[in-house]
Amino acid sequence: MSPRRGPGRTRVRGLDEAPPPGAAEVFVQHVRLGPDAGTDGYPYDLPVVRALRASGGLAFDRPVTFLVGHNGSGKSTLVEALAVALGLNAEGGSQNFRFATADAHSPLGEALVVRHGRRKPRSRYFLRAESFFNVASEIDRLDREGGGPPIIDGYGGVPLHERSHGESFLDLFVHRFGPDGLYVLDEPEAALSPQGAMAVLARVHELARAGAQFVIATHSPILLAVPDARILEIGDDGSWHAVAYDEAMPVVLTRGFLADPARHVAELLEDG
Ligand SMILES: Nc1ncnc2c1ncn2[C@@H]1O[C@H](COP(=O)(O)OP(=O)(O)O)[C@@H](O)[C@H]1O
Ligand SMILES: [Mg+2]
């Protein structure tokens, strides 16, 4: 299948093409439900978790994998569980963070079985937009305790509570994330301006070419344009399929809206 592209649109690799030449082998190749997984109640009754069971698992075949789907489709549940299965803190941070402000994470992470590639990541990190404030507080607390080089130096040196939400995200991408790292991100665009999202797009691409792997749940039509990324769209029945950039729902809906905002607003208000 050849890549589908419209005039003037971002070129994105077609669905059946091999990974880009020179792409490093991914760290996380596959994730599936293990024998300890339950069957009833949250998270096991979510359509996407049922689909995980029925399909035998989710494969990661590119350095950058995006998960897209409506609110409530289970993206956060899935990426949080992947982070936990990788030994990361459910509220975010690196493998060295162990804090919990709420015992709210699902048991799914403990029930997942991850297939790792031969390479080992140089660092790992889980960015969860909604609880990054707590990560910033934890860095402050650990640095007050002392006992080692300041952790904040790895984030550019300015305490993250003294940065705007978006600036602190950019610090993370620029200073903390590096080549050969494994990064699981939940809606990183939440704090970013359009320019910030474009800067993150460029940084993700740069790091992916330098051996990093990203798994990113997002609604951002900007971020989704990272070249050579795999976009997996979760449908209403919980199953997912690979889509090209131009067919991804956030891109189709945003493009349609921006082509004629007045008409779309009128239709939305009529429906209400
Ligand atoms: N702790 C929880 N207990 C019960 N249901 C939950 C819990 N957390 C999330 N859910 C439900 O699981 C569904 C998927 O949530 P989530 O993974 O956050 O979706 P997304 O990130 O795709 O918007 C939602 O319908 C939500 O209400
Ligand atoms: Mg979410």
Condensed to tens digits (0 to 9), the pLDDT of residues 24-81 reads: 799 999 999 998 899 899 999 999 999 999 999 999 999 999 999 999 999 999 999 9
Residues 6+ apart with CB under 8 A from 100: 89, 90, 91
Nearest residue (by CA) to ligand 1, atom 5, is 42
The 3-class SS string of the chain reads CCCCCCCCCCCCCCCCCCCCCCCCCCCEEEEEECCCCCCCCCCCCCHHHHHHHHHCCEECCCCEEEEECCCCCCHHHHHHHHHHHCCCCCCCECCCCCCCCCCCCCCHHHHEEEEECCCCCCEEEEEEHHHHHHHHHHHHHHHHHCCCCCHHHHHCCCCHHHCCHHHHHHHHHHHHCCCCEEEEEECHHHHCCHHHHHHHHHHHHHHHHCCCEEEEECCCCCHHHCCCCEEEEECCCCCEEEECHHHCHHHHHHHHHHHCHHHHHHHHHHHC
Residue-wise pLDDT tens digits, 176-192? 999 999 999 999 999 89
Which segments of the chain have a pLDDT < 50? 1-14
CB-count burial class (<10 Å; 0-12, 13-18, 19+) for 241: exposed
**CA contacts within 13 A on the Cβ side of 215:** 24
Domains contained in the chain, CATH given: 28-131+179-271 (3.40.50.300)
Centre of ligand 1 from the C-alpha of residue 106, in Å: 10
Centre of ligand 2 from the C-alpha of residue 79, in Å: 9
Nearest residue (by CA) to ligand 1, atom 26, is 72
CB 52 within 8 A of CB 39: no
Cβ(69) to ligand 1 under 6 A?
A: yes
Instruction: Give the pLDDT of residue 229.
Output: 97
Instruction: Give the pLDDT of residue 2.
Output: 40
Q: Other C-beta atoms within 10 Å of 7: how many?
A: 4
Instruction: Give the pLDDT of residue 240.
Output: 97
Cβ(73) to ligand 1 under 6 A?
A: yes
The token pair that represents 161 in the structure block = 């509570």
Instruction: Give the pLDDT of residue 168.
Output: 86
